[in-house]
Amino acid sequence: MSNNKNKIYTKQGDKGQTSLPGGARVSKSDIRIDAYGTLDELNSFIGLLRDSALNNHHKEVLLKIQHTIFLLESYIALNKNKPVAHIPNFNDDDIKLLETEIDNMEKDLPKLSNFTLPGGHQQSSLCHVCRTICRRAERIIISLNQSEPVDEFILKYINRLSDYFFVLSRKIIYETNSKEILWNNH
């Protein structure tokens, strides 16, 4: 007799439903699932970016961001009507980290006078992928917030995070002596 507790598949979602922490069953198309699923997608791309040829400082910051995103996913997944085990609280230092990183990177960058296009270097392009997924997650979380209040920290963090990825994309261009691609409206 096999032990199903060790199997990754449970067959519980075969009909399009999934469980939230606390046991509530919802459709896999539920906006809450879409929100934390999009954050999970973002986290995966951040892992890909972190595994590329970045300097150690950028890698360390990205790892901290990944941990915070996982925490955000947990909060969004919570069923507000059924308390579950303790999840760590957010920390304003997470937002301060992003702001400090943005400010420090911008000190070394030329002033931006035109829109930029993704490209110029593979890691910079990956930053743009992360930025656009982050913006999509933000739109979904804002929609979720219209029906169920979302912690204000999550909204602030995600907004700041997309800015971080934009500035990091530019910083990588300059660290690698690559060429920033400016938008030309012909």
Token pair recorded at residue 85:
């085990």
Question: How many residues in the chain?
Answer: 186
Give the pLDDT of residue 18.
55
In a domain, 91, yes or no: no
Domain tally, the chain: 1
pLDDT at 1 over 50: no
In a domain, 151, yes or no: yes
**Inside any domain, residue 71:** yes
- Residue 49 within a domain: yes
CATH of the domain at 73: 1.20.1200.10
- Each residue's pLDDT tens digit, 138-181: 999 999 999 888 888 999 999 999 999 999 999 999 999 888 87
Q: CA torsion 65→67→70→76, rounded to 10°?
A: -70
The predicted model scores a pTM of 0.84
For residue 146, give its domain range: 30-77+116-186
Residue 20 lies inside a defined structural domain of this protein: no
Q: Residue 180 and residue 171: Cα distance in Å, rounded?
A: 10
d(CA 101, CA 173): 16
